[in-house]
Chains A and B, each alone.
Chain A
Amino acid sequence: GENVEQHPSTLSVQEGDSAVIKCTYSDSASNYFPWYKQELGKRPQLIIDIRSNVGEKKDQRIAVTLNKTAKHFSLHITETQPEDSAVYFCAASFWDSNYQLIWGAGTKLIIKP
């Protein structure tokens, strides 16, 4: 079955700098890769996602890149702000009728003022 690895587990960056979180997946059949942001005690919120038919997607300060050959995808946050501090989860899925997400272990992002 699918296995998703996420690195680093903790990332501390200076406010204004960029942050990059990386994930690898094992099942080449996976074709949908969302990223979720979760603040303490709250629900995960979808921040960006990418399908396997594109290599990059951007939404303001957030971008996701996908390398299907290497089976890895990354989240890029530019010009980080204090409110970006949270735990970020990547996930992989085969976009079928049941759509079960396989989750990464999470990355705690700390933005230092």
Chain B
Amino acid sequence: GAVVSQHPSRVICKSGTSVKIECRSLDFQATTMFWYRQFPKKSLMLMATSNEGSKATYEQGVEKDKFLINHASLTLSTLTVTSAHPEDSSFYICSARAGSSPLHFGNGTRLTVT
């Protein structure tokens, strides 16, 4: 079945540094990728929708300059958390879709900013 690989699974960084999270579709071409943030015991919060070759569409309240999304190819999207702060600590999950297929999720990245 379709596989989405997300790396790293865990990252700890110091406040003020930037962190890049990669999301790859391993066996299909993802026309659309989504990035979510999930707080403990809460639902997934959509941050942005990313279409290959075009700028990401950010949800209201999500700072596009802080959460940089790049979808350079049909198999790779990256989320960069710039100048991370402790309040950015969270679980970030990507998902990908090819055409009209269901969504497939990455394993998520646990970000801890100290």
- Chain A residues within an 8 Å CB radius of B41: 87, 106, 108
Question: Nearest chain B CB to A9's CB is how many angstroms away?
Answer: 9
| Stretch from B11-19, B70-78, B80-88, B96-104 contacting the other chain | B96-104
The proximity string for B residues 84-114 relative to A, scoring 1 for CB distances below 8 Å and 0 otherwise, is 0000000101000100101101111010000
Q: Does A45 contact B (CB under 8 A)?
A: yes
Q: How far, in whole Å, are A95 and B32 apart by their CA atoms in the complex?
A: 13
Instruction: Write the residues of chain B forming the contact surface with A, with a CB cutoff of 8 angstroms.
Output: 31-32, 34, 41-44, 46, 49, 51, 91, 93, 97, 100, 102-103, 105-108, 110
Q: How far, in whole Å, are A106 and B97 apart by their CA atoms in the complex?
A: 22
Contact B108 A41 (CB under 8 A): yes
- Chain A residues within an 8 Å CB radius of B91: 41
A-B contact count, CB below 8 Å?
A: 48
Q: Main SS of chain A's interface residues?
A: loop
Q: A46: nearest residue on chain B (CB-CB)?
A: B102
Question: Nearest chain A CB to B106's CB is how many angstroms away?
Answer: 6
Question: Nearest chain A CB to B28's CB is how many angstroms away?
Answer: 15
Contact B102 A42 (CB under 8 A): no
Question: Nearest chain A CB to B26's CB is how many angstroms away?
Answer: 14
Q: B9: nearest residue on chain A (CB-CB)?
A: A41
Number of interface residues of A (CB under 8 A): 21
Contact B103 A104 (CB under 8 A): no
Contact B32 A98 (CB under 8 A): yes
Contact A101 B107 (CB under 8 A): no
- Chain A residues within an 8 Å CB radius of B100: 95, 99
Q: How far, in whole Å, are A100 and B46 apart by their CA atoms in the complex?
A: 9
- Chain B residues within an 8 Å CB radius of A34: 102-103
Contact A43 B108 (CB under 8 A): yes
Contact of B49 among A42, A87, A100 (CB under 8 A): A100
- Chain B residues within an 8 Å CB radius of A89: 43-44
- Chain B residues within an 8 Å CB radius of A43: 93, 105-108
Q: B91: nearest residue on chain A (CB-CB)?
A: A41
Question: Nearest chain A CB to B58's CB is how many angstroms away?
Answer: 13
Contact A105 B105 (CB under 8 A): no
